[in-house]
């Protein structure tokens, strides 16, 4: 009888342990989902690395731990931006079945308090890593984190205000990321401002594109973003104009010999491959509209260029 009782107790303990392990794993998964890293790491890596290498290239200097600290800081800053966004949007997302499943706060996998604490911890960790990049990187990092907060947090909600939604998006999700990498080593950007401007314009295009795609839904929901203010057609024109201006900035920057010549070969191969094998979906996984099929391959090419350039800079590979 005693043996049966002990076995029953052991069975209950095993079951409780298994349930606790499953709960812990689900929490960890929810935290990872809250960071939404898949949505920002693909552009944060190349922007940060290219920014740092633009400062190192003229001095023939080699990247060190500071660049990797700032890279981690930028990734955490973007995680903070997306985490805070989900925390602030949770009440509204809970009213939409699709958004509710996408938002771990709305779906109940994490509480609002847990989301807020995790966001704050990510903010602090990012700030500490920016400090490891030096004074100028810290200043840029503070500006980035401030915009990340103002973009989503009530009552500011720059994301829901015309014009500021695009400007904030362009700076915090592109221009400032590249600037943080550059100012880790450099202090006089000169022509590098062209590259920072190009990155910001590409990001502005992304915001214009998303607003055009979501125009009808956003208008019905009563949102007052730039597209709703200007109309669908003018917003689409601004998106295409942003691409044209970004390309002009890049071509001028290339003419100023800011990049190693051999990077051009990789770029050309990447562009040809993209043309031969077109993509059907945009960054959000929707069927691409108005050039959206260039978003994913564009990021692949950018990462390839940045990582090969970094490997060459650090002597891991030799470019003949």
Flag residues of the chain having pLDDT under 50: none
pLDDT for 78-120, tens place per residue? Answer: 999 999 999 998 888 888 777 788 899 998 889 999 999 999 9
What is the spatial distance between Cα 73 and Cα 162, in angstroms, rounded to a whole number? 29
What is the spatial distance between Cα 129 and Cα 139, in angstroms, rounded to a whole number? 12
Domains defined for the chain, CATH in brackets: 39-313 (1.10.600)
pLDDT in the model for residue 173: 95
How much is the mean pLDDT over the chain? 88
Residue whose C-alpha is closest to residue 249's, from 315, 205, 183, 307: 205
What token pair was written down for 107? Answer: 């779906």
pLDDT in the model for residue 223: 79
Residue whose C-alpha is closest to residue 205's, from 181, 169, 172, 180: 169
Neighbours of 20 (CB within 10 A): 10
pTM: 0.90
pLDDT above 70 covers a percentage of the chain that reads 87
pLDDT in the model for residue 6: 55
What token pair was written down for 299? Answer: 């990021």
pLDDT in the model for residue 210: 87
What is the spatial distance between Cα 31 and Cα 240, in angstroms, rounded to a whole number? 36
What is the spatial distance between Cα 275 and Cα 286, in angstroms, rounded to a whole number? 19
């Amino acid at each position: 009888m005693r043996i049966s009782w002990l076995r029953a107790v052991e069975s209950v303990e095993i079951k409780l342990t298994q349930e606790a392990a499953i709960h812990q794993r689900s929490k960890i998964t929810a935290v990872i989902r809250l960071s939404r890293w898949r949505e920002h790491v693909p552009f944060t890596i190349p922007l940060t690395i290219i920014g740092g290498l633009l400062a190192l290239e003229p001095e023939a200097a080699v990247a060190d731990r500071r660049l990797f600290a700032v890279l981690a800081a930028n990734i955490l800053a973007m995680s903070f931006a997306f985490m805070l966004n989900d925390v602030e949007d949770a009440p509204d997302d809970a009213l939409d079945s699709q958004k509710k499943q996408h938002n771990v706060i709305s779906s109940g996998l994490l509480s609002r308090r847990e989301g807020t604490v995790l966001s704050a911890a990510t903010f602090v960790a990012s700030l500490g890593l920016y400090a490891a990049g030096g004074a100028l990187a810290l200043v840029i990092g503070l500006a980035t984190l401030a915009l990340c907060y103002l973009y989503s947090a009530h009552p500011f909600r720059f994301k829901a205000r015309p014009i500021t939604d695009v400007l904030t998006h362009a700076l915090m999700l592109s221009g400032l990321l590249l600037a943080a990498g550059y100012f880790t080593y450099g202090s006089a950007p000169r022509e590098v401002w062209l590259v920072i401007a190009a990155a910001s314009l590409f990001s502005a295009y992304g915001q214009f594109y998303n607003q055009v795609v979501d125009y009808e839904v956003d208008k019905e929901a009563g949102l007052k973003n730039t597209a709703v203010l200007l109309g669908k057609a003018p917003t689409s024109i601004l998106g295409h104009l942003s691409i044209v201006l970004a390309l002009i900035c890049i071509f001028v920057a290339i003419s100023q010999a800011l990049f190693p010549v051999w990077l051009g070969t990789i770029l050309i191969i990447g562009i040809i491959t993209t043309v031969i094998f077109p993509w059907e979906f945009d960054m959000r996984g929707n069927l691409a509209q108005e050039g959206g099929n260039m978003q994913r391959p564009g990021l692949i090419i950018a990462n390839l260029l940045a990582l090969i350039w970094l490997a060459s800079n650090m002597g891991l590979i030799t470019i003949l």
